Amino acid sequence: YWSVPYKDAADCLHHLIYAYLRMWMGEFPDSTPPQEQLQARFAPRVQTAAGEEAVHLLAGALDWMRADFETKLDALSPIVRLAIRYIHDSVRTGDGGSIKEFSSKSGVIPAYLGHLFKEETGNFFNSYLMQCRINRSVLLLKNPAAKIKDVASQVGFASTSYFVRCFRENKGVSPARYRLGREE
């Protein structure tokens, strides 16, 4: 089922660091990603590692990334952490989600939450929500049997046409075209 497109552990680490940094920049666009720390800590050692040692180094890199990310999240205020969890849960369940809905559930004024969210994460609440929806839809589009309208609904869009427009603005192509490009 899974094919391994990596030449060796160093190549795998390179891709792992790249994916982590992309995720980091999506979550915390106004902060400096830990690229130098990752490279300095793991790259020299993994260059010569093989077999089980390479697996342990890659696992160590994953553990370090998780701890680093959790530290960054822990620095956020409790309400912003709750908002992020709410966004991810609403995207995962397809419940839509909005700043107004979260604010009414949490008792926080939407304008204050929006300001705090932007100040702490570097993202606007709605932009973050939209990016999470698009990211989730990319994963769902990997299933060739999934219909575009079902994917739109599964990530919380009430309208397929709005989903297609947002997807196109974000990825530069329609969801159907994106799927075709990924299958090649």
Predicted pLDDT at 23? 81
Enumerate helices (H) and strands (E) in the chain, giving the number of each: 10, 0
Dihedral angle computed from the Cα positions of residues 43, 138, 169 and 123, in that order, rounded to the nearest 10 degrees = -60
Q: Do residues 67 and 59 touch, judged by C-beta distance below 8 A?
A: no
Confidence of residue 126 (pLDDT cuts 50, 70, 90): very high
Q: Residue 44 — φ and ψ, nearest 5°?
A: -60, -40
pLDDT of 183 strictly over 70: no
Q: Can you give the pLDDT at residue 184?
A: 40
pLDDT band at 83 (very low <50, low <70, confident <90, very high): very high
Q: Could you write out the three-class secondary structure of 73-98?
A: HHCCCHHHHHHHHHHHHHHHHCCCCC
Q: How far is CA 117 from CA 12, 108, 184, in A?
A: 34, 12, 39
Between 182 and 49, whose confidence is greater? 49
Q: Is the pLDDT of residue 96 over 70?
A: yes
The mean pLDDT of 16-25, rounded to a whole number, is: 82
The token duo for 154 is 């599964």
Flag whether pLDDT at 144 surpasses 50: yes
* Position with higher pLDDT, 5 vs 163: 163
Average pLDDT over residues 61-88: 90
Task: Give 35's Cβ-side CA count (13 Å radius).
Answer: 12
End-to-end CA distance of the chain: 17
pLDDT tens-digit series, residues 25-74: 777 777 777 888 888 887 777 777 777 887 888 888 889 888 988 888 88
Q: How far is CA 93 from CA 106, 123, 157, 175, in A?
A: 19, 22, 11, 20
Residue 7 has pLDDT above 50, yes or no: yes
**Mean pLDDT of the residues in the chain:** 86
Q: Which of 43 and 177 is assigned the larger pLDDT?
A: 177
pLDDT band, very low/low/confident/very high, at 182 (cuts 50, 70, 90): low
